[in-house]
Structure 1
Amino acid sequence: MGAHRCWIEVINPEKNEPVAVKWSDIISVDIDLSLYAAADSFNCILKNDFLLSDYFKKDQEISFWLGSVSDPNHWSKEDLTHVFTGRIDGVRPYFGEQMIVQLVGRDYSGRLIDREFSVAYAEQTASQIAAKLAVENGLTVDVTETEVVIEKDLYKDRKEWEILQELADREGFVCYVKKNKILYFGPRKETDDAVIAELNYKQKEKSNVLTMQFDNSMVGIINYVVVRHWLGWKKKIIQGEAKDEDLMKYGEKKRVVYDPKAITKELADQIAANKLKEWSRGVVTAEQVRIPGSPLVDPEKKVVIKGCGQVFDGNYYIEKARHIFSKSGGFFTEMNLTSQRPDSAAQYRKDLYD
């Protein structure tokens, strides 16, 4: 396993150059990774004996690397994995028996979440809007081109991130900020469906699961699917739907999907029926999944579980992940998992805006 290590860099605003925090000053780091609607965030504690709190500033860029090294006395950033880049939202020094400083912040989507959308972007396509917002917020652009001009009514009294998520839904895209400061606005990548890790419970030398709790219930089952697509430059709406009347007795559980393949009502109905068939099956979720620290764990990536029985073994998608590092406790990764792939950002927006 090796020795757990963490590397932290901040950007010197005067020289615009990275400066590393001394290993001896790092106490703990927590990094929370979520899906599209909410920003990834961090919380770290540093020694403040030499008043580091005077150096850190709100909105300063900060990056984290985590991992294990074979030689605890000779290692570098290159031996670890980059897990997060964002900006500092708060600097909180504490003066008591110890002098420490707490830093909290979010990734670069935090800016888009905070900022009101400007009507200056009216009469443009979704991809043009995404590209401009990326550049304005200091991000590199990875945007798939679209053709339909977006109506002005969409922009009123809303945050930039909320607008981007809805535009992505309309195109059947996903939208997120990568840890290397790239705004991705485009179709879901097939490479995201590759299994990145095995989670083994009581599998002899392969065992790496410390705790895990499953839930096999009606929670998460969808019984009403609506598929929409805005077609052509006149923005004609195409809509199809499908319901499972037997499951409606448990209460309506509706999901709206924007799919560019729904170019006729018949196709929209068929897509809705296919998705309903998938989503009306039972959903198995897992929480309190705790393993030795793995910096490769990221939301929406796929893992496979082994050793938990025929019902619960299989492939799962990561909904949330948390990397927890401290010098006293070591490095661990916690996850929430689901057996069904999250279809879009829409189902997670409730956590952020409601």
Structure 2
Amino acid sequence: MSSPRGLIEVDGQLLRWPDLISIRVIGTLYMAADSFEVKVNNSLMLSDWFKKNQEIKIYLGYVQDPNRWYKNELEHVFTGKIDGVSPSFSGDMTCRIIGRDYSAPFLDTTFTVAYAERTASQIASLLCSKYGLTPNITSTTEIIDRDMYQNRKEWEILQSLADHEGFICYVDKNKTFYFGQRDLSDEEIEANLFYRMGFKSNCQIDFDDNAVDSFNQVTVRHYTQKQLIEGTAKNDTLIESMGQVKERVYYSSKVKTQAEAKQLADKLLPEFSRYVITGKASKMAGVPTIACEKKVSVAGCGRFDGNYYVERYDLTLNKQGFLMGLDITSLRPDEAEQYRQDLYSSDSSILGSSRKLGSGTL
């Protein structure tokens, strides 16, 4: 029978398994950084070794022999940097380290490069090289208006540019900077969620099926020289199913003509009219290969059975076990705009030695 295990590697050196108390990794989509929290036994003053900005890699998974195992048996799930070190010099002598992935510097830094005519891919390349990441950037040709990328956080700019081009943008666990089309080919089921199905049962899950935040008509509006510029887009199918028109009015100074207003309304409608079922699954065994936009299947929940996309995951490993929580949605998350909330400001966020680290894994 396999046993859950985990390792952290700090600046290339592995922390011994006996020194680890718990590991937690939260993954989310696009605008928010993936984040981690590691708690260790500090009786040997490991807090003297941990420093801000050290690189950390996290490995999680299952091993066949819990008494003799190696790093290559685990899944590499996270790479980032330490943001904070919090030792507790009390009865328990522990140390907590927290941090984020390599999108964090973009989230923290305002773009201040002097104005020049640039395309979206040129701006992406400029920022990618600034932080020494490996580029995987799709070339674009349209020159971007300076207003889109002046005096804003770098990650906000990159996400806006990605939206503009119909792309997504993220930094993966291998420090590759991706700016390009979403991969729609991966439809493999990564995990199966069972509720009230005897010995197969493996989770608890809550669903939400409502139209509180769903709009079936979007109107883009702008006043210029006392003239109204306006364009409207509507979802007739959703209007019929909801039994009424539910309109969202969006003001934009960027639109200069009725045609531009209509074009922007057409673009915004799919985002504002998302009529989806969402769910929160908990108390299930950790799956180290889980990732945002991966698919999971649900069974045992009546009409809510089916396949869902992951939009957030929470992996927690300690000496008692390896558990996972998921936020899921019935439709593929199509718009990065939905997820523009840094985990640092979220209630669910993680963030709110004289002896060197050993090189062994046992």
TM-score (norm 1): 0.83
2: CA distance between counterparts of 1:302 and 1:220?
Answer: 24
One-letter identity of the residue aligned with 1:75: W
1:297 maps to which of 290, 296, 312: 290
2: CA distance between counterparts of 1:292 and 1:202?
Answer: 16
One-letter identity of the residue aligned with 1:323: L
1:83 maps to which of 73, 77, 82: 77
Bigger relative contact order (CA 8 A; separation at least 6): 2
Matched, 1:312 2:316: no
* Counterpart residue number, 1:60: 54
User: Contact between 1:223 and 1:248, CA under 8 Å: does it hold in 2?
Assistant: no
* Counterpart residue number, 1:39: 33
User: Contact between 1:197 and 1:302, CA under 8 Å: does it hold in 2?
Assistant: yes
Identity among equivalent positions (%) equals 45
Number of residue pairs aligned between Structure 1 and Structure 2 = 325
Matched, 1:117 2:108: no
User: Contact between 2:119 and 2:144, CA under 8 Å: does it hold in 1?
Assistant: yes
Q: Deviations over 1:41-73 (max 9, x none)?
A: 011101111111111111110010101111001
Quote how far apart the aligned CAs of 1:344 are. 1.3
Quote how far apart the aligned CAs of 1:348 are. 1.5
User: Contact between 1:7 and 1:66, CA under 8 Å: does it hold in 2?
Assistant: yes
**What secondary structure does 2:185 align onto?**
helix
Quote how far apart the aligned CAs of 1:283 are. 1.9
* Counterpart residue number, 1:215: 208
Quote how far apart the aligned CAs of 1:203 are. 3.2
Q: Deviations over 1:272-309 (max 9, x none)?
A: 69948xx7574211114331011111112111111111
User: Contact between 2:235 and 2:273, CA under 8 Å: does it hold in 1?
Assistant: no
* Counterpart residue number, 2:227: none
Where in structure 2 are there 5+ consecutive unaligned residues?
A: 221-230, 252-258, 347-362
Quote how far apart the aligned CAs of 1:87 are. 0.4
One-letter identity of the residue aligned with 2:139: E
User: Contact between 1:41 and 1:106, CA under 8 Å: does it hold in 2?
Assistant: yes
* Counterpart residue number, 1:338: 329
User: Contact between 2:214 and 2:275, CA under 8 Å: does it hold in 1?
Assistant: yes
Distance 1:254 1:92, change over 3 A: farther
Matched, 1:174 2:168: yes
Distance 1:226 1:313, change over 3 A: farther
1: CA distance between counterparts of 2:9 and 2:294?
Answer: 26
Q: How does 1:1-354 map to 2 (within 5 A)?
A: 2-11=2-11, 18-120=12-114, 122-209=116-203, 211-224=204-217, 241-243=233-235, 251-253=246-248, 275=270, 280=273, 282-309=275-302, 311-327=303-319, 329-350=320-341
CA root-mean-square deviation: 3.0
One-letter identity of the residue aligned with 2:143: V
Where in structure 1 are there 5+ consecutive unaligned residues?
A: 12-17, 228-238, 257-263
Distance 1:121 1:272, change over 3 A: closer
Distance 1:197 1:62, change over 3 A: same
